[in-house]
């Protein structure tokens, strides 16, 4: 993947951070999609699937954090 980054940086003359969104944590995916930092996407349908997964992942994390805070208050 490093070769792709070097080629892309040479072409656009800007530092590049290449992150496969299908393997990234939900907050990174959501941030990339919201800020439209995508340079290449094989299929536009992937956008909605990534957005759906990222949103669900963040909701799960918030729920878990909320529940853990709730249970901490009960047990303390």
Q: Quick one: residue 25, left, alpha or beta (phi over 0 = left, psi -120 to 50 = alpha)?
A: beta
What pLDDT does 56 receive?
92
The rounded distance, in Å, linking the Cα atoms of 56 and 69 is 20
What pLDDT does 33 receive?
85
Q: How far is CA 57 from the centre of its chain?
A: 10
Q: Which residue has the higher pLDDT, 55 or 70?
A: 55
What pLDDT does 10 receive?
92
Domain ranges (residues) in the chain: 2-75
Element counts in the chain: helices (H) and strands (E): 3, 0
The tens digit of pLDDT for each residue in 7-61 reads 888 999 988 887 888 889 998 888 888 887 665 677 878 888 999 999 999 888 8
The pTM (predicted TM-score) of the whole model is 0.62
């Amino acid at each position: 993947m490093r070769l792709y980054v070097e080629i892309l940086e040479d072409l656009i003359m800007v530092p590049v951070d290449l992150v496969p969104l299908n393997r990234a944590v939900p907050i990174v995916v959501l941030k990339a999609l919201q800020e439209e930092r995508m340079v290449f996407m094989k299929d536009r349908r992937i956008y909605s699937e990534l957005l759906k997964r990222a949103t669900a992942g963040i909701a799960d994390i918030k729920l878990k954090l909320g529940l853990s805070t709730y249970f901490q208050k009960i047990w303390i």
